[in-house]
Amino acid sequence: TEACLTAIESATTLNAVTTVTADKAREMAKAADARISAGDATAMTGIPLGIKDLFAVEDVPTQAASNILGGFKPRYESTVTRNLWASGAVMLGKLNMDEFAMGSSNESSAYGPAISPWREDGSDAAITPGGSSGGSAAAVAADLCLAATGTDTGGSIRQPAAFTGTVGLKPTYGRCSRWGIVAFASSLDQAGPMTKTVRDAAIMLGAMAGHDPMDSTSADLPVPDFEAALTGDIRGKKIGIPREYRVEGMSASVDTLWAEGTAKLRDAGAEVVDISLPHTKHALPTYYIIAPAEASSNLSRYDGVKYGHRATLSAGEGINDMYEKTRAEGFGPEVQRRVMLGAYVLSAGYYDAYYKKAQRVRALIKQDFEAVFADGVDAILAPATPSPAWQLGAMKSADPVEMYLQDVFTVTLNLAGLPGISVPAGLSSKGLPLGLQLIGRPFEEADLLNTAYALE
Ligand code: GLN
């Protein structure tokens, strides 16, 4: 814990940590020591963690990296963090992210972007750690914490993990409780671990997961011993390679590393088969209708009354002015764009054409996966991202859709509710990390982690 606190102090240029809770960390570390002495430790006891700013931690600023939650300190604790503290883990602080988890580069944060510790060969230019869990990825990659929590609505755990050479696991929808996590798109949001190794991810998921009566979508299933599943034996497993994931414009190094990963699994005794997920091409437009629709509804609670920021009114201004001014001041441009997009696709006259249609396509995307799993495929291997991380600012001037296109390999799983893990695969031609993604059957994270362990 002390080593991490020192590292955090000397790495402020990464802008990965938004709040340091040093006193709390030392207190928790002492309690962990006592627990270890008493012979009452778990594998998580005394492990110092960073927490994405989306998780409510009691009495600690929780802003979802947004000005609209300025000054907000929850009086409650998210279930996931409560589970982690019960296992003896230590809270170091809150981590930077895209505002309300909307983004792929951490550039929509009200705190400014987190920066990756990685650089392109021969260049000093700052590189994005990805997003939205960019602070989590940068902090784990730079050894500011041993692991971090992330959330993944459309790739926000897996893409930053891929961009920073770390491991990121998005569990099955319902595996971890969403209670106390600031909502973005409730039917897609899922919390998961961001770690240095697959083994760490297995251990940490075990501590985060579990049924929670406070979240009606949380699955009432036992949490298996994920670490015990890591045998590395994947003989006879059937691995699908989805042909639709070979998209135009994918970088050459991604293609090479994908082939190398496939060969590695085959050498370990897996059977590799070509598969088709025919509705893949509709996943991005479907996601970028459903996610903003749910966001526009979830974010309506930020009205200047209940939480955080409230605009100052002039004489004669009323409650509508307060709503308008508060939201105009508090939300950044990406969040405003999503709220408008969401309100539009949900409005009378457009609901059937956009939202309802997107829900239908979502069902087809899910059926694609179900058909492949029914055919005996145990896991699907694909790239995590179409390219390595880019220089900060490189996407900013571009159309926002440019950035949305980066999520092409990740959003499909959220739409289908499936678990996925990004594992470091090697380096791009310019020396930046790339990740491979394994997609598993629902609630079979143990099996998925074991395949990832063989790939690592
Ligand atoms: N990049 C995607 C988006 O902007 C995913 C974000 C996420 O998973 N939270 O919506």
Q: Is 444 in the pocket of ligand 1 (CB under 6 A)?
A: no
pLDDT confidence band for 217 (50 / 70 / 90): very high
For residues 258 and 381, is the Cβ–Cβ distance under 8 A? yes
Quick one: average pLDDT of 81-104?
98
Amino acid at 428: S
Q: Of 379, 373, 374, nearest to 440 (Cα)?
A: 379
pTM attached to this predicted model = 0.98
Q: What is the pLDDT of residue 403?
A: 86
Q: What is the pLDDT of residue 343?
A: 97
**Among all residues, which ones are annotated catalytic?**
52, 132, 156
> Within 13 Å of residue 299, how many CA atoms lie on the same side as its CB?
33
List alpha helices for 176-282, DSSP H.
198-208, 252-267
Tell whether the model's pLDDT for residue 38 goes beyond 80. Answer: yes
Q: What is the mean pLDDT of the chain?
A: 97
* DSSP string for 276-292: --TTGGGHHHHHHHHHH
Distance CA 195, CA 210 (A): 19
Q: Of 449, 412, 383, 443, nearest to 173 (Cα)?
A: 443
Quick one: average pLDDT of 33-54?
98
| pLDDT tens-digit series, residues 149-174 | 999 999 999 999 999 999 999 999 99
User: What's the gap in Å between 147 CA and the centre of ligand 1?
Assistant: 21
| pLDDT tens-digit series, residues 224-250 | 999 999 999 999 999 999 999 999 888
N-to-C CA span, the chain = 27
Q: What is the pLDDT of residue 25?
A: 98
For residues 435 and 161, is the Cβ–Cβ distance under 8 A? yes
**Ligand 1 pocket mutation, candidates 106, 132, 182, criterion most atoms within 8 A of CB:** 132
More confident residue, 405 or 297: 297
Q: Is 385 in the pocket of ligand 1 (CB under 6 A)?
A: no
* DSSP, res 171: P
Strands 147-151 and 191-195, by their bridges, are antiparallel
Tell whether the model's pLDDT for residue 396 goes beyond 70. Answer: no
**Closest C-alpha to ligand 1, atom 4:** 103
Tell whether the model's pLDDT for residue 423 goes beyond 90. Answer: yes
Give the sheet arrangement for strand 147-151, strand by strand: 17-20, 90-95, 48-52, 147-151, 191-195, 167-170, 420-427, 433-440, 379-383, 238-242, 271-275
ipTM comes to 0.98
Least confident window among 87-91, 279-283, 390-394, 420-424: 390-394
User: What's the gap in Å between 15 CA and the centre of ligand 1?
Assistant: 20
429 φ, ψ (degrees, to nearest 5): -60, -25
Q: Is 153 in the pocket of ligand 1 (CB under 6 A)?
A: yes
Q: Residue 435: helix, strand or coil by DSSP?
A: strand
Distance CA 98, CA 337 (A): 14
Which helix (H) or strand (E) segment is 221 a member of? none
Quick one: average pLDDT of 21-28?
98
Count of residues making up the chain: 456
Distance CA 120, CA 389 (A): 9
Structure tokens at 24: 């709390």
CATH numbers and ranges of domains, the chain: 2-230 (3.90.1300.10)
Distance CA 339, CA 225 (A): 40
Name residues whose C-beta falls within 8 Å of residue 400's C-beta, 6 or more positions apart in sequence: 334, 337
Q: What is the pLDDT of residue 397?
A: 59
Q: What is the pLDDT of residue 399?
A: 78
| pLDDT tens-digit series, residues 107-135 | 999 999 999 999 999 999 999 999 999 99
Distance CA 260, CA 245 (A): 16
Tell whether the model's pLDDT for residue 405 goes beyond 90. Answer: no
Q: Is 88 in the pocket of ligand 1 (CB under 6 A)?
A: no
**Ligand 1 pocket mutation, candidates 97, 98, 181, 413, criterion most atoms within 8 A of CB:** 98
Exposure class string for 45-71: b at 16+ Cβ within 10 A, else e: bbbbbbbbbbbbbeebbbbbbbbbbee
User: What's the gap in Å between 381 CA and the centre of ligand 1?
Assistant: 21
| pLDDT tens-digit series, residues 252-285 | 999 999 999 999 999 999 999 999 999 999 999 9
